[in-house]
Amino acid sequence: MSKKSSLGRGLDALLSRPQSAESSSGTAVQNVRVDRIVQAAYQPRQVFEPEALAELAGSIREKGVLQPLLVRPRGENFEIVAGERRWRAAQLAGLVEVPVLIRDLGDREALELAIIENLQREDLGPLEEARAYQALLDQGLNQEAVAQAVGKGRSTISNALRLLTLPEAALRALEKGEISAGHARAILAQPEEDRTWALDQIRTRRLNVREAEALKRTARTTAPLPVNPPRPYRQVELALSRRTGTKVRITGEDKGRVELNYASREELDRILELLGYAAED
């Protein structure tokens, strides 16, 4: 199988392409016992929701497995390339056998087909999707080729891959569903040193995505520091304080004010006398 056919069309290419009457293990599609089928070493989908699996099992119990699993020979057994969710649901439904399409595939072809088949179904979690893209990049593809293979824009691939740069705590939160992909992108919009802080804010304050996005405008905002007077004025402040026996503050540079504190009428009279003014009765 050429890379173009496997990457460009995924599992549909294998199912729709005319097949020879015999494959390496017999007819093109055949029934195989579920206990002779094993999981692949790499599975893009890490989470199988029990409720969704039970729902699929109910459908399979009623209508059977409508689309065969794609498998490859592994000794006496068969390794799943695509269709692990159907295989799990079929076991829940009590099926002894499932229809399979058997193909002799190399490790790289099997990996690429497994990833792309899952990506084309568009029901992976955000981290599962990002890791699947990264696995394809690890196989030597570039982002443009990955985008073409899964029928998505390159920016979609790039944005998904950025999720893998989240802090470890945020990765765990995203994987557990404690935050959404939108929350994760809001965290990534923060300066690197503020990302763990942003995650804590989202969790403790139960922020929605829009509120989380607003954190990037307020995270590093602090009240303006008071302007200290130039050093010469500070010396004058000290000198006047010693002379008057009260606190003196000078604000501004070219223009400003001089403030003297007093606690009573008597203290004000004393200060005025020191400055050469006689208090009026």
Residues marked active site are found at 84
Cα(3)–Cα(143) distance, integer angstroms: 16
CB 85 within 8 A of CB 39: no
Length of the chain, in residues: 281
Q: Going by DSSP bridges, is the β-strand pair 97-102/69-74 parallel, antiparallel, or unpaired?
A: parallel
In 3D, which of 278, 279, 245, 277 has the Cα closest to residue 265? 279
Cα(121)–Cα(188) distance, integer angstroms: 27
What Rg do the C-alpha atoms of the chain give, in angstroms? 35
What angle, rounded to 10 degrees, do the helices at 168-176 and 126-138 form?
A: 120
CB 67 within 8 A of CB 86: yes
Phi-psi region of 20 (alpha: psi -120 to 50; beta: other; left: phi over 0): beta
Cα(97)–Cα(90) distance, integer angstroms: 8
CB 258 within 8 A of CB 246: no
Tell me what percent of the chain is helix, strand and coil, each rounded to the nearest 5: 55, 15, 30
User: DSSP 3-state assignment of 201?
Assistant: helix
